[in-house]
Amino acid sequence: MRNASSILVRIVLLIPLAFSIQALAGPKQVLIFSGGWKGHFPQETAVWMQSALENAGFEVTRSDSLSCLDNVESLKMYDLIIPNWTAGEINTTQLKNLSDAVKSGAGLAGVHGGMGDAFRDTPEYEAMVGGQFLKHPYVGEYRVDRVVLNHPVMKDVPESFVYRSEHYFMRVSTNVTVLADSDYSSETPGLRMPVVWVKTWGKGRVFYSALGHNVEKEYATYPDAWTMFINGSLWAARVIEKRPENEF
């Protein structure tokens, strides 16, 4: 009888475990928080990103307030966090929570000013992202060139493609891996300006693309930018896993 009851106890204990394993194996969870300067169409961008990410298999939660950053334990439940908030201000607790969630393993991905020009003058945020928008003296057509050939984010992206939009001039940290760049000789002779990069922040993976002033319009016109955003989101959320020959 002792053996039978012991087996029964084990079964009872294992049932919730089985359910939690099943729950963990569900769709990857994404949080998009949107706001800030309206010139980057934060709400429209969020709607477009939600649709694109759902098509890629993610389950998406959208927030139009930074209060979604108030609880670090809630943030840690997400596989991927997407800042979509040009300029604006973040309080110390929200910034620490966001940083801690990424350090503990949540991915961070975003584009253009929504991630690269958010919360100016917050050094820890800039260090986590790997760069900060400074200016875009040129708006027009420019060429985006692949730098790294074998990174999963660059899968199905051609060696070079033309893009027409604001050409971001950024301050970029030295601890990023640049995946694509562009010629910025018109502003500074000989300068190659990073356009797409990846990095890590603690245990978290970070993806950034400077492309996407008007995501919905530009990504429809230039599908290679769309491909990099989706690949970057999948990589940051660890849907695309580490490859043996690659440190990421």
Q: What is the largest CA-CA distance in the chain?
A: 84
Question: Amino acid identity of 188?
Answer: T
Q: How far is the CB of 37 from Zn ion (least distance, A)?
A: 9
- Interaction of residue 213 with Zn ion, rule CB under 5 A: yes
Q: Which of 140/158 has CB closer to Zn ion?
A: 140
- The span from the CA of 199 to the CA of 171, in Å, is 15
- The span from the CA of 75 to the CA of 133, in Å, is 26
Helix (H, G, I), strand (E, B) or coil at 171: strand
Q: Which of 79/166 has CB closer to Zn ion?
A: 166
Q: Which of 9/162 has CB closer to Zn ion?
A: 162
Helix (H, G, I), strand (E, B) or coil at 222: coil
Which window, 70-78, 118-126, 160-168, 179-187, contacts Zn ion (CB under 5 A)? 160-168
Q: Which of 33/133 has CB closer to Zn ion?
A: 133
DSSP annotation of 27 reads: P
Please compute, for residue 46, the number of CA atoms within 13 A of its CA located in the half-sphere on the CB side: 22
Q: How far is the CB of 148 from Zn ion (least distance, A)?
A: 25
DSSP annotation of 118 reads: B
Element housing 53 (H / E): helix 42-55
Which window, 13-21, 88-96, 161-169, 191-199, contacts Zn ion (CB under 5 A)? 161-169
Q: Which of 78/229 has CB closer to Zn ion?
A: 229
Q: Which of 146/213 has CB closer to Zn ion?
A: 213
Which residues within the stretch 162-201 sit at the binding site for Zn ion (CB under 5 A)?
Answer: 166
Helix (H, G, I), strand (E, B) or coil at 35: strand
Q: Per the structure block, which two tokens stand in for 233?
A: 């989101």
Element housing 109 (H / E): strand 107-111
> x/- contact string, 108-147, with Zn ion (CB under 5 A)?
----------------------------------------
Which window, 26-34, 47-55, 171-179, 209-217, contacts Zn ion (CB under 5 A)? 209-217
- Interaction of residue 151 with Zn ion, rule CB under 5 A: no
Residues near Zn ion (CB under 5 A) are 166, 213
